[in-house]
Amino acid sequence: MNKGVFLLAPGGSFEMAKQAFLNGADGVYVGLYGWSRRTKEYELKMEEIERIVILAEDLGKKVRVALNTAFSSLEYHMFRHSIKRLSDIGVHGVILNDAGAVVVVKEIDPSMEVHISAGMNAINIEDMWFYRELGADMVVAPCNLKLDEIREIKKLIPIGIEVFLHSNTCFTYLGKCLMSSYFRYEWSLDEYGKNHFLGSPNRGGYCHRICKANWFSEKGKVILRNDMFLAFDSLEDWIDAGVDCLKIQGREYNPSLVGEIVRFYRQVLDEILTHGFIPDKDRFKRRLLELSEKRDRERNRRTFKVLEELAEGSSVSL
């Protein structure tokens, strides 16, 4: 049984990071303003990240920063400056969505942990070796990687593997869907001069969840899958396979809900690490379903909001 598994929680705000730490997370991930796959209300400016880093150091926790958008050549120096600042304030690691960015980070700060975002779709042995040779320390595995694949990767490659505990599965590979880009072809400069393509989460915009709209064909309504993913039923096996980090999604959720989810998984992990299994699993599963319903209500409100921005004057139907 892997005794070193790391519980990573979202930090969409200072209060959310605090709730995550106090409820048992080993670390949080936050999004740097303008550079992560969320809208700006769930991203943090450098000063806010520094506050969380100070709190983390006081509590013996860690902070990782998502810069999981691709930068253009005109933004190269902005990216380098951001990495230098993050290193200076004591950030432990970054989550990246661009192969070239890995090299840049390791050049600036060789001790900075580099995590390959799920959006880069590292799905096989050669992918993992490629990122390891670039300098990556950990890869965030897409939800569609199977347990046997994780075991084989851990057996052959000296790289950390991070998996989602509580997430949604994209109907394509995460990070490869371009549907939102076609519906919002719009660019915007922020106050720092960074250019955002508002229809693409890969370029500083965000996903409008077009797959959740009402789609129809000649045969009737078409369902594009965007199902909830829960690792609970096979969690003991994931840990036994050598997974290094378990990640909770949800920077856009209410901080108190994030606290509840973190506390739940902390209790579950402690049971597994103590006993090798989850005693009274049905009781935990009932609690998980309650939390999942709360989480889905918040996600659905968010989905309606981002679809609403597109509905007027387009073919998107709510």
151 vs 50: CA distance, rounded Å = 36
Q: List pLDDT tens digits, range 22-36.
A: 999 999 999 999 888
Inside any domain, residue 205: no
Inside any domain, residue 214: no
What sections of the chain are H helices per DSSP?
Answer: 14-22, 46-59, 76-88, 99-108, 125-134, 147-156, 179-183, 235-240, 255-275, 281-311
Q: List pLDDT tens digits, range 85-132.
A: 999 999 999 999 889 999 999 999 999 999 999 888 888 899 999 999
Inside any domain, residue 183: no
The pLDDT, as a whole number, for residue 313 is 46
For 306, the domain range is 6-177+225-311
Least confident window among 26-30, 61-65, 227-231: 227-231
Inside any domain, residue 45: yes
Q: Residue 199's pLDDT band (boundaries 50, 70, 90)?
A: low
295 vs 133: CA distance, rounded Å = 38
Report the domain count for the chain.
1
State the CATH number of the domain containing residue 33.
Answer: 3.20.20.70
The pLDDT, as a whole number, for residue 318 is 41
Inside any domain, residue 160: yes
Q: Residue 3's pLDDT band (boundaries 50, 70, 90)?
A: low
Q: List pLDDT tens digits, range 160-197.
A: 999 988 766 666 666 666 777 777 767 677 777 777 76
Inside any domain, residue 216: no
The pLDDT, as a whole number, for residue 47 is 97
Q: How many CA atoms lie within 13 A of 191 on its CB side?
A: 3
Inside any domain, residue 213: no
pTM for this model (two decimals): 0.82
Inside any domain, residue 188: no
